[in-house]
Structure 1
Amino acid sequence: MIEKLAINGGKPVRDTYLAYGKQYIDDDDIKAVVDVLKGDYLTTGPKVKEFEDTVANYVGAKYAVAVSNGTAALHTACLAAGIGEGDEVIVPPITFAASSNCILYCGGKPVFVDINPDTYNIDVEKIEGAITVRTKAIIPVDFAGQSVDMDLICKIADKYNLTIIEDAAHALGSEYKGEKIGSIADMTEFSFHPVKPITTGEGGVIVTNNEELYKKMLLFRSHGITRDSKLLTHNEGPWYYEQLHLGYNYRITDIQCSLGLSQINKIDEFVKNRREIVNRYNEAFKDIEEIITPREDEFSNSGWHIYVIKLNLDKLTCTRKEIFEALQVENIGVNVHYLPVYLHPYYEKLGYKRGLCPEAEKLYERMLTLPLFPKMTDKDVEDVIRAVKKVVDYYSMENCPL
């Protein structure tokens, strides 16, 4: 017998709402922040460098520059790469707008390359066809935490002398060929928004093995100003500083970095828990023909920032919107990641048109993000599974009473 949906007056699976993502803060995190609040430095102090060094060491990079948020990190990386007026940068469309906005901030032009319909990452085989004499960089995105094929992207970048800025906002703790993401691209960006693998409230970081890029990013993070005697045009005394570039105030605080230092101690546990939840989802949905679970390339070991299913609409009597709304009323906080960037009204005003990336647009109509965060309980996970099965069963082509 088909169970009556809550949206139609039935009893919801849960009595309380379960968000799709949520930070986890414990007493150690709180103590770390309080200790800084009681100390001498709230910003531009020692915790910033300590956090940078810790992140760099964790991912296997030489240098790290922590900034105020993930978008600032991408912008800073683009500035360091020298992206300017008229330069083209290749980027996938299934991502948050910041991945391409950072190109616009520099006067460049985002060139959207369609996705692989199986992994939802950029289709590496289509990158070369999008390269022109104006192409300056590639911004591959590790969607949901799954690594892109960095070996192939590096070959393309080397062939055309392009900079790689890896958008790994979803991927702290994820691996590529057994190594942590963060040590291959010219620059790799991570985000510390509350729903990300770890949080600093807001925050971001760029890691690199290139000392020249590292020094540029330090300047751009803080107004383009330096006190480094080796960089000054002249020196009037120990108080003296100069602005060498038009930089930004993208500094992160010691308060945020103290939280980040405490959080990164738990990153391996967080990733382990996320992977276990994903395994439970995959097992629960594997035989449901109305649902397509995420497929991961063998070279990737994702930390699973988000869990995205694809709805097989040919087997359903409804749209994605109806599934979404029904699950929300069951108190399951589903979401959608993402509207293809070029379909946002601002990008349409820039001349981007529907039909540019057919695979991305087709995916967008079918994708649905289920709740996933490290401290979900067994009951939380079972509630999600039960609600998805309940709603999909109701709208199944075979079972739907409509």
Structure 2
Amino acid sequence: MSTTENTLPFIPFTRPHFNQETIDAVAEVLRSGWVTSGPKLAEFESTLSDYFGGRPVRCFANGTATMKIALQVAGIGSGDEVITTPISWVATSNVILSVGATPVFVDIDPVTRNIDLNQIAAAITPKTRAIMPVYLAGLPVNMDQLYDLAKQYKLRVIEDAAQAFGSQWRGQKIGSIGDLVSFSFQANKNLSTVEGGCLVLNNADEAKLAEKFRLQGLTRQGMDGMDVDVLGGKDNLTDVNAVIGLHQLKQLPAFQARRSSLAKQYFDAIRHEMESAGLGNLNLELPVENFTDSNWHMFQVVLPLEQLNVDRAQVMSELKDLGIGTGVHYPLITGFTLYQKLGFKTEATPVAKRIGRCILTLPLFPGMADEDVGRIAKGLTGILKKHRKN
């Protein structure tokens, strides 16, 4: 175990949890001899379909494949435009480029840090085919407003709900409503299959098309024939991954409750430490205090860098010295070299530019101890106080 100078254990910004029952189930699959896509995958997809109210669900090797295939199922390709957010993992916009379409970046709401739905209409052109919102840290956008927009302008919606498994909107699970909904099961997600993802679809025809795109465009015709009628890839999920997902689903309610409890403690601890340190004038921005809809995938703060004598990297380095791991989710997509070369301008989305420079992800995972939250809050506050401008 890594330790700091004061012998306290290192707290990573996230850590997956797999219990012994899950480990035993993986071993059983390995012993079975059927380790690629098979009966456990079918069971996982069926269980997920039940979770989402009976909607068709297909699983894939990763959450990037789910988004790309969602675009393909929606018929989006060369010459089309897809409206999305510039604050996300770059996969969100990369998949738009990969199908030959163009991402159109709309600025974000400074409070929710999600795409600003009020700015979408102004970005719609005759080439616009879809909206791809991202539910940052598990907090969904206003779904009523989103789908009113989609209906008004006759657009598809591909929800990048990679971080939102277990989140909801007005009592309905994200994925049980809406159009095409993509989830990631990567290692740090609330439900993990180590790597993987799933796509919630609208009907059997879309599900069948997604299956083709998942495995080389293959269409089986009886016992001794096959055909390929679309260009597909190799994006299937294995039974090893699927059985992990089945056991993670059983633990999801406990995981969710723990995340929510830790988030509540963060609000209390950070506010207490900031007040005790006399930092009431520092504009440390906390996330939306939503314990109904968010699954609390991450706890993110926006640092008041304009009031500090250091940058984010220095804050992260000093937290690491205290035995506290952090992350950045996410830098501004349009600031990346690829997107600069394609002509995108960071100045076009000023709120996202600021958030992308200042956002910081603090540790949050079910295995954290209550005292970890207080330690993190105290450490962060001490650093802010030390580097506060006079």
1:380 is aligned to 372
Q: Does 1:265 align with 2:258?
A: no
Tell me the amino acid that sits aligned with residue 151 of structure 1: D
Q: Does 1:351 align with 2:351?
A: no
Gap change, CA 1:370 and 1:61, over 3 Å in 2: farther
CA distance in 2, matches of 1:127, 1:210: 27
1:389 is aligned to 381
Gap change, CA 1:386 and 1:87, over 3 Å in 2: same
Tell me the amino acid that sits aligned with residue 208 of structure 1: L
Tell me the amino acid that sits aligned with residue 379 of structure 2: A
Aligned-pair distance for 1:208?
2.0
Aligned-pair distance for 1:163?
0.8
Aligned-pair distance for 1:212?
2.5
Q: Does 1:247 align with 2:213?
A: no
Report if aligned partners of 1:61, 1:207 keep a CA contact under 8 Å in 2.
no
- 1:151 equivalent among 144, 148, 164: 144
Report if aligned partners of 2:269, 2:374 keep a CA contact under 8 Å in 1.
no
| Greater CA drift, 310-319 or 321-330 | 310-319
Q: Does 1:77 align with 2:70?
A: yes
1:45 is aligned to 38
CA distance in 2, matches of 1:157, 1:36: 43
Q: Does 1:168 align with 2:168?
A: no
Q: Does 1:102 align with 2:95?
A: yes
- 2:318 equivalent among 318, 326, 329: 326
Query: TM-score normalised to the size of structure 2?
Result: 0.93
Tell me the amino acid that sits aligned with residue 66 of structure 1: C
1:336 is aligned to 328
Tell me the amino acid that sits aligned with residue 105 of structure 1: S
CA distance in 1, matches of 2:95, 2:54: 23
CA distance in 2, matches of 1:386, 1:354: 34
2:191 is aligned to 198
Report if aligned partners of 2:216, 2:234 keep a CA contact under 8 Å in 1.
yes
Gap change, CA 1:14 and 1:292, over 3 Å in 2: farther
Gap change, CA 1:140 and 1:320, over 3 Å in 2: same
- 2:352 equivalent among 346, 360, 378: 360
1:89 is aligned to 82
CA distance in 1, matches of 2:6, 2:211: 50
Q: Deviations over 1:213-249 (max 9, x none)?
A: 222111111111011x4xxxxxxx6211100101111
Gap change, CA 1:33 and 1:12, over 3 Å in 2: same
Tell me the amino acid that sits aligned with residue 179 of structure 2: D
CA distance in 1, matches of 2:313, 2:329: 14
Tell me the amino acid that sits aligned with residue 365 of structure 2: F
CA distance in 2, matches of 1:320, 1:269: 33
Aligned-pair distance for 1:61?
4.7
Report if aligned partners of 2:36, 2:240 keep a CA contact under 8 Å in 1.
yes
Report if aligned partners of 2:334, 2:344 keep a CA contact under 8 Å in 1.
yes
CA distance in 2, matches of 1:380, 1:12: 17
Q: Deviations over 1:131-183 (max 9, x none)?
A: 11101111110100001111111111111111111011111011111111112
Q: Deviations over 1:248-285 (max 9, x none)?
A: 11011001101110111111111111111110111112
Report if aligned partners of 1:13, 1:383 keep a CA contact under 8 Å in 2.
no
Query: TM-score normalised to the size of structure 1?
Result: 0.90
- SS of residue paired to 1:266: helix
2:277 is aligned to none
* 4+ aligned runs moved over 4 Å, structure 1: 11-14
Q: Deviations over 1:61-103 (max 9, x none)?
A: 5110100000011111111011110100011011001111111
CA distance in 1, matches of 2:330, 2:54: 29
2:263 is aligned to 278
Aligned-pair distance for 1:395?
1.9
Report if aligned partners of 2:269, 2:373 keep a CA contact under 8 Å in 1.
no
CA distance in 2, matches of 1:129, 1:32: 51
Tell me the amino acid that sits aligned with residue 206 of structure 1: L
CA distance in 2, matches of 1:389, 1:191: 33
Unpaired segments of 5 or more residues in structure 2? 275-279
- 2:209 equivalent among 211, 216, 236: 216
Gap change, CA 1:169 and 1:14, over 3 Å in 2: farther
